Amino acid sequence: MVLNCNEHKKIITILKREPNEIEEQLFTALWSEHCSYKSSKIWLQRLYSKNKFVLQGPGENAGAIDIGNDDVLVFKIESHNHPSQIAPYHGAATGVGGILRDIFTMGAKPIALMNILYFGNTEKPYMRNLINEVASGIGAYSNSFGVPNIGGKVIFDNCYNQNILVNVFAAGVTKREKLIRAKTTSQKFSIFYLGAKTGRDGIGGAATASASFTTKSNIPSNSSQIANPFFGRCLFEAFMEMQAKQCIQAATDMGAAGIAGAVSELGAKNTLGIDLYLDNIPILQKNLTAKELLLAETQERLLLVVYDNCENTATAIAKKWGLAFAKIGTTKKKPYLCVYYKKQQIANVPIYALTTQSPTYKLAAKKATYAKKQTHNLVSNNITNDILNLLSNFNKASKNWFYEQFDSYIQGNTIIHPGSDAALIKLEHSEKAIAFSTHANPRYCSADPRLGAMHLVAQCWRNISAIGCKALAVTNNLNFADPNQPEIMGQFISTIKGLNKACKSLNLPIVSGNVSFYNQTDKKTIKPSPTLVAVGLATNWQQTSANKKSNPGDYIFLLGKHGRHLDCSLYKAMQEINFLGKPPKVLLKLERKHGIFVQSLIKTGLANSCLSLGSGGLIAALARFAISEKLGLDIHLPVVKDPLPILFAEDQARYIFSAKKDNVTAIMTKAKTKKIKLHTLGQVKGNKFNIAKICNIDIKELELAYYNPRKFEQWH
């Protein structure tokens, strides 16, 4: 990634001279897409990002929301796509390390991790190796650091054959008065380096992440960062100890563009200039050049602003944890970044020119193409086989084979583990619990980017509602190909519009996130792959579905209409039809109404187990219900000439739930009062998955299809 001619001319205009080599490198890194968001920021500014609960929106290390009683939830999702394609183990591991630093640098203790991963054809040995390496990297860091990995999503599609995507989410909690930002009220302060010593790894990482691959790409071996979870944990402990002793005024992570990026961000946010002394930087290897010192993306490093009377205390804490600690810069009123090396000034540039005044592009965009509704012409020769094949499909089957490699029990607060609609973490010393749900659907988003993006929001809303929690806010990771291609930019803009409409309607502000462009090799592009993670709250975890189980004799209900929309469904995709058609409509008012109703049923104890409907339709939800509860179902659906839409359609705003016989009258009365459409489907009964006149399958056969270990055991 290099500066284009117009950007170079702009630098000359800003400096009123030619930049020297170091200054050129600073602009190249900080004006890269990865750092500056130059092709996306005019659109990102339109996203719904504020309400009364938001304490920190986009622009800091992570977003933060008020969850009551001065408790604050800090969370964010980030991508590590290019590094994970180049070096999957360290790419995935440093993705985990980086997102954890974003959380604890804001003064929050990390309580949860999730991974949203996109892989290609699993029949290819190299792809199996990538999957194993990514899993190993995630596990090595998260398990060693000591944060529960509570789930996520694993998606398979041939469009990721040459560009896998690794998106990592983390969340933490702190008290309102302990929230730390990069901005401080001081007008003059010193800047301190804390963490591992700087080496040569990660040179040019930001630039590499801002360019497409080609089959002839000559990527430097040191462009990928090296993970060190031991140092990461020590850094966390040292930081939290400094926070407890009230040493820290402000802090920021050293991520993309290394020290140069972190120092520039710190200066710009505090409207101050900075004198940076490279000779003071703790180094791992001798003879590091000025460029390497500035731009290396060595992991496990932070920039701190320490109170003047706390320098000795901070030094002692750093030494205790075996970390490097050094004063590497001071602030000044004149807003320039001046870099000194070997007692010489080697760079002198306006700090805003590197950051807030970086180029902004409104790239040409071709209106995204939307799939048209197709005529339903699907025929089934054997519905039982169709059901079993659906459950064993890579994009529907259990991902236990993946998530069992990570510790979801550590810290002892996980209530709902991977495999459910949403995960649930109990807050220490509190009855409150936090729900986490993630969703991605490149099948929908490629057919209709705007509608597909709305589906992501609606599905996360349903998933959190289905465990009895209220969704509060979201973070997103927007993965796309080359934005200079008008059709790709059209997809991106349509996605922004869809997210904005759905988030506004459901009052879910987007408080943090990430954009990852250039996910393509040669002309082979990924599908539009936006990822969403939503967080929710239960004021009392015992009023969620966590401790509610179904029992024989319980009635099974469908909340919402019977399905009609087979276009773009997983069932239709499994038929290998070229034109899948249009995703179903998103009914946002109905989503809100049904979600609130489900939450109330669970909170008041009227409903037991509950699942949201999504990919795979009603049949997938019923089968998952039977498998998770290890109970048979006796279901009676409307007798129709063509049962496929009722079974497999993916119409929205729908749930299934179970309830005791004694609660049926109360539920029906409540539904009638709220004008909610409910269907009684049958009962929990026996040990068979029985749908009258359609199928009668042993639960063990369902389990075998869903967990299907035979597909994965040969990989390990």
Active site residue 80: yes
When pLDDT is cut at 50, 70 and 90, the band that residue 710 belongs to is: low
Residue 316's pLDDT is: 98
Residue 372's pLDDT is: 80
Residues in contact with 32: Cβ distance below 8 Å, sequence separation at least 6, in sequence order: 1, 206, 207, 209, 210, 256, 257
* Structure tokens, 528: 């539009």
* Structure tokens, 462: 């349903």
Among residues of the chain, what percentage have pLDDT more than 70?
96
Phi, psi of 215 (to 5 degrees): -65, -15
When pLDDT is cut at 50, 70 and 90, the band that residue 326 belongs to is: very high
Per annotation, catalytic residue among 80, 439, 455, 594: 80
When pLDDT is cut at 50, 70 and 90, the band that residue 220 belongs to is: low
List alpha helices for 507-659, DSSP H. 570-574, 588-603, 617-629, 644-648
Residue 212's pLDDT is: 73
Residues in contact with 597: Cβ distance below 8 Å, sequence separation at least 6, in sequence order: 559, 670, 671, 674, 676
Strand ranges, E, within 374-495: 414-416, 423-426, 433-439, 470-479
Residue scoring higher pLDDT (205 or 658): 658
Distance of alpha carbon 139 from alpha carbon 127, whole angstroms: 18
Q: At what angle do helices 617-629 and 383-392 cross, to 10 degrees?
A: 70
When pLDDT is cut at 50, 70 and 90, the band that residue 569 belongs to is: very high
Neighbours of 334 (CB within 10 A): 11
Residue 205's pLDDT is: 55
Distance of alpha carbon 335 from alpha carbon 340, whole angstroms: 16
Q: What average pLDDT does the segment 209-213 reach?
A: 65
Q: Are strands 524-525 and 433-439 parallel, antiparallel or unpaired?
A: unpaired
Q: Is the pLDDT of residue 450 over 90?
A: yes
When pLDDT is cut at 50, 70 and 90, the band that residue 502 belongs to is: very high
Q: What average pLDDT does the segment 245-265 reach?
A: 96
Q: Is the pLDDT of residue 371 over 80?
A: no
Residue 453's pLDDT is: 98
Distance of alpha carbon 460 from alpha carbon 469, whole angstroms: 11
Active site residue 34: yes
Q: Is the pLDDT of residue 580 over 90?
A: no
Distance of alpha carbon 13 from alpha carbon 705, whole angstroms: 64
Residue 547's pLDDT is: 83
Residue 650's pLDDT is: 98
Q: Is the pLDDT of residue 222 over 70?
A: no
When pLDDT is cut at 50, 70 and 90, the band that residue 368 belongs to is: confident
Least confident piece of the model among 398-412, 437-451, 698-712? 698-712
Q: What average pLDDT does the segment 370-391 reach?
A: 88
Residue scoring higher pLDDT (224 or 46): 46
Q: Is the pLDDT of residue 223 over 90?
A: no
Residue 208's pLDDT is: 61
Is residue 298 within 8 Å of 253, Cβ to Cβ?
A: no
Average pLDDT in the chain: 94
C-alpha dist (Å) from residue 649 to 380, 450, 551, 585: 14, 20, 28, 12
Question: Under the phi-then-psi rule, with left for phi > 0, alpha for psi from -120 to 50, and beta for the rest, what region is 173?
Answer: beta
Q: Is the pLDDT of residue 207 over 90?
A: no
Which residue in the block uniquely carries the two structure tokens 């990461």?
232
When pLDDT is cut at 50, 70 and 90, the band that residue 234 belongs to is: very high
Which residue in the block uniquely carries the two structure tokens 């170091």?
22
pTM of the model: 0.96
